[in-house]
Amino acid sequence: MEKVRWGFLGAGSIANRLGEGLMQVDDAELLAVGSRTADRRQALAERFDVPRQYATYEELVQDPDIDVVYIATPHNLHREHSILALEAGKPVLCEKPFAINVAEAAEIIAVARQRNLFLMEAMWTRYLPVPSEIKRMIDDGVIGQLTMMVGDFGFRGARSARSRLNEPALGGGALLDIGMYPVSFAAYLFGGSPTRIETLGHLEGGIDERSGILLGYPDGGLAVCYSSIRDNTPQECLLFGSGGEIRMPTPWWLTDHFHLKVDGEDWRRVEPGLIGKGFAHEVMEVNRCLKAGLLESPDMTWSHTMGVMTTLDTIRAQWGLRYPME
């Protein structure tokens, strides 16, 4: 496979952003887009010079020339659309959150396993050079043992806006959309699921507007995560270790550099870099895995995805937040 030929299932905001990233990857081709809405479909096809358009998702996944299907629909449809593509024999990159809850996530993974197909959660920030370099440093003990992480993701969105974020039926709210970024990053850095979870969430209109989350890890590790769709938070991430510190600047989830302080040395700037607005890295990871014949990305294994989904379920259970489809 010289060029990996992509099919986009959905043509909304994130599909356009991944399209920008895909254009920066030499061995990727955006072959087809499937979208129910003609205007949106045509706009994306024109923008990225996409040769094939489908008015239904069913037709898209049946295109024999597509090597991988990217699921870019709202959270509540990830299970249905991922399974649609997998059952048509297509490898899948599915947007985050991978599903509404862990039961749905398990269903998707079971189909990929049964069909022997590649499947990856599109937690796009995971594939950027900065998080990868920080993970390497932490695993190598550069700041000693990781003891604490403080990370947030919040912006001020209107309660009155017509947005999927405000819609319980689409799995709206802060946690599944942006709150999961620090939760997922903590799982990556601490290397597994928390052993203790304490949280407070403010719910309004069937969704969580803001929350604070404490995650406890073995050996005393602690992650302090907060998120909001009603407040502009600093969007920083601070990491403390027994032998140093790391500061990721605003916005921590999309940065080309970070600051490192090892005990006894001065602060220094580390610049792992970044291509464009970041989405190219995710495309490159999918292409790399497909060409290597992998079913899972080593940076985003199915068990990691299941662990994060379990944490998100536990957090929502503490708040008493259930979506209409659950």
Ligand X SMILES: NC(=O)c1ccc[n+]([C@@H]2O[C@H](COP(=O)([O-])OP(=O)(O)OC[C@H]3O[C@@H](n4cnc5c(N)ncnc54)[C@H](OP(=O)(O)O)[C@@H]3O)[C@@H](O)[C@H]2O)c1
Catalytic residues: 96
H helices within the chain, ranges in order?
Answer: 13-22, 38-48, 57-62, 78-87, 102-115, 129-139, 174, 180-190, 279-291, 302-319
Binding of ligand X at residue 164 (CB under 6 A)? Answer: yes
Binding of ligand X at residue 95 (CB under 6 A)? Answer: yes
Binding of ligand X at residue 96 (CB under 6 A)? Answer: yes
Binding of ligand X at residue 154 (CB under 6 A)? Answer: no
Q: Which is nearer to ligand X, 143 or 175 (CB)?
A: 175
Q: Which is nearer to ligand X, 74 or 241 (CB)?
A: 74
Binding of ligand X at residue 177 (CB under 6 A)? Answer: yes
DSSP 297: B
By beta-carbon distance, which residue lies closest to ligand X?
12
Q: Which is nearer to ligand X, 6 or 217 (CB)?
A: 6
Q: Which is nearer to ligand X, 222 or 315 (CB)?
A: 315
Min dist CB 282 to ligand X, Å, is: 10
DSSP 253: T
Strands 28-34 and 4-9: parallel
Residue 148: closest CA among 190, 192, 196: 190
> How many other CB atoms are there within 10 angstroms of residue 242's CB atom?
11
SS3 6: strand
d(CA 155, CA 207): 15
Binding mask 47-86 for ligand X (x = CB under 6 A): -------------------------xxxx-x---------
Min dist CB 37 to ligand X, Å, is: 3
Evaluated on CA atoms 38, 120, 5, 254, the torsion sign reads positive
d(CA 286, CA 28): 10
Among 14, 68, 213, 321, binds ligand X (CB under 6 A): 14
Specify the stretch interacting with ligand X by CB under 6 A; choose among 31-39, 83-91, 136-144, 146-154.
31-39
d(CA 240, CA 233): 20
Min dist CB 310 to ligand X, Å, is: 19
Binding of ligand X at residue 12 (CB under 6 A)? Answer: yes
What residue ranges bind ligand X (CB under 6 A)?
A: 10-14, 35-37, 40, 72-75, 77, 95-96, 164, 177
